[in-house]
Amino acid sequence: MSRSRRVRRGIVAAAFVLGLSLGAPAVLAQEGAAEGGSAGRGWLDALGQGRTWVKLRYRFEEVDQDGFAEDAHASTLRSVLGYETSAWHGLSGLVEFEDVTALGNDLYDSTTNGETSRPVVADPEDTEVNQVYLQYGGVEGLTARIGRRVIILDDHRFVGDVGWRQNQQTFDALSLEYAGLPRTRLFYAFLDNVNRVFGDRSPQGDLRMASHLLNAAFDAGRFGKLVAYWYYLDFDDLATSSTSSVGLRYAGQLPLSGEWRLTGAAEAAHQTEVGDNPNDVDAGYLRGELGAERESVGLTLGYEVLGGSKSQPGDKFTTPLATLHKFNGWADVFLNTPDAGIEDTYVSLSGKLQKADWAAVWHEFSAESGSSDYGSELDLLFSYACSKRVRVGLKLADYRAEDFATDTQKIWGWVELAP
């Protein structure tokens, strides 16, 4: 596709979603007013009184990775149009469209454009229905959804939306959420398919499955929050990721002197193979964090372990549905758990300065099985809220390899419009 066609496509996509978002509610409301019967007005009013949203995010990403003769340069625009009805007898619906367009020459390996001489930036061009589902909330405390939707559980470590990438991860699912008990939230979902960030044009874009997610959270107020979970993932065509994970997570905080708070989190899980997984999996997961924070600054020390076996490849802890970019460094070197597992020791300093957010994170990576020293990474982030809806940002990741992968440097700049 020529550069001019890409630019026109991006402009048309942005104009299209903006126009629909401004015009749809008024049109539906007029149609509802034209109906004669009260029943007709009821469901048409639910349509006409819904809400719309537009999200736009332009991002430039550059990757310098040893082993590639040329760097990657990705200039992409994400456009999102969404509409949600108001409730009618407990029923409501939502539909959201998403378009990812490369602006200029796509000088990066998007995983679908054939530019394999450059590093991967997993933001392929695509236009799709991002979310579409029916929701029922007519029973107090219970919410049921069926269709394509975003699912985020806890901190994204096991199930997330991969929101950092331009094409969001969603699930074709039936889900039930119950919050009718004091301080308790129960969540269950049956997953039929995961729509991954690679898009519909990629063979990796959809993964069929018959999977179950069960998550129970108890909020103990000032004593913290306790979560127990069981995730049974049975993939049709990714058998080595078919696993059962059972775990327990705690997070809380304790007031200190002045405005300071002591924060902490601890999590442990165990994973085994299921379905047609050919590997004998008996792997553990551990994570602990301890920090201190106040309104404008926070310091966190952390240690995370995903188990592995140097002598038995495949016996390792994996989280294929996670927002992986959030963990083990922003350079995305460890999207797949190494066979020998991984130990990640990190320190994070973050804060706010008026309308700006900033963060600096240092990681030291090593093998969980054996004595390999994988490498280290420095991550930096700065973002600024220009207004209530517009934010700009800069981000950097610098991975220095020792016994794993190769030196990788990434830098991002972006501007986004949010509801």
In the chain, the amino acid numbered 346 is Y
With a CB cutoff of 8 Å and minimum separation 6, the contacts of 135 are 91, 92, 93, 94, 143, 144, 145
Q: Of 219, 239, 271, at which residue does a domain stop?
A: 219
Question: Residues 278, 363: one domain?
Answer: yes
- Any idea what the CATH number is for the domain that residue 412 is in? 2.40.160.10
The answer to whether residue 229 is domain-embedded is no
CA–CA distances in Å: residue 280 to residues 104, 135, 238, 315: 47, 39, 15, 6
What pTM was estimated for this model as a whole? 0.89
Cα(148)–Cα(150) distance, rounded to whole angstroms? Answer: 7
Same domain, residue pair 136 and 185: yes
CB 304 within 8 A of CB 340: no
Q: Specify if 127 maps to a domain.
A: yes
Residues 132 and 189 in one domain: yes
**234 within domain boundaries:** no
Cβ–Cβ < 8 Å for 363, 373: no
Q: Which two tokens stand for residue 174?
A: 């039936």
Quick one: 215 and 287 in the same domain?
A: no
Q: What is the pLDDT of residue 43?
A: 74
- Cα 346 from Cα 336, distance rounded (Å): 19
Closest C-alpha to 35, from 24, 46, 44? 44
Is 295 found in the same domain as 345?
A: yes
Whether residue 303 contacts residue 274, with contact meaning beta carbons closer than 8 Å, is answered with: no
pLDDT given at position 77: 98
Spell out the per-residue pLDDT of the chain, length 419, in tens. 444 444 444 444 444 444 444 344 444 444 444 444 444 567 777 777 899 999 999 999 999 999 999 999 999 999 999 999 999 999 999 999 999 999 998 899 999 999 999 999 999 999 999 999 999 999 999 999 999 999 999 999 999 999 999 999 999 999 999 999 999 999 999 999 999 999 988 888 999 999 999 999 999 999 999 999 999 999 999 999 999 999 999 999 999 988 899 999 999 999 999 999 999 999 999 999 999 999 899 999 999 999 999 999 999 999 999 999 999 999 999 999 999 999 999 999 999 999 999 999 999 999 999 999 999 999 999 999 999 999 999 999 999 999 999 999 999 999 999 99
Contact 161, 152 (CB under 8 A): yes
In a domain, 239, yes or no: no
Is 66 inside a domain boundary?
A: no
Is 388 inside a domain boundary?
A: yes
As a whole number of Å, the end-to-end CA separation of the chain is 31
**Statement to judge: residues 203 and 273 lie in one domain:** no
Alpha carbon of 341 to those of 289, 307, 363: distances in Å? Answer: 19, 5, 16
**CB contact at 8 A, 127 and 77:** no
Final residue of a structural domain among 199, 219, 239: 219
290 & 214 share domain: no
For residue 117, is it within any domain? yes
Where is the domain boundary, 196, 219, 242? Answer: 219
The C-alpha atoms of residue 157 and residue 335 are separated, in whole angstroms, by: 12
Q: Are residues 357 and 399 in the same domain?
A: yes
Q: Do residues 274 and 202 both lie within one domain?
A: no
Size of the chain in residues: 419
Whether 265 and 338 share a structural domain: yes
Contacts of 100 (CB under 8 A, 6+ apart): 76, 77, 78, 79, 123, 124, 125, 126, 127, 166, 167, 199
Does residue 380 sit within a domain? yes
Domain count, the chain: 2
Print the domain residue range for 141.
1-59+75-219
Q: What is the pLDDT of residue 200?
A: 87
**Residues 192, 317: one domain?**
no
Residues near 41 by beta carbon (within 8 Å), at least 6 away in sequence: 32, 33, 35
Residue 178, helix vs strand vs coil: strand
Element (DSSP H or E) covering residue 392: strand 390-401
Within this chain, do residues 148 and 88 fall inside the same structural domain, yes or no? yes
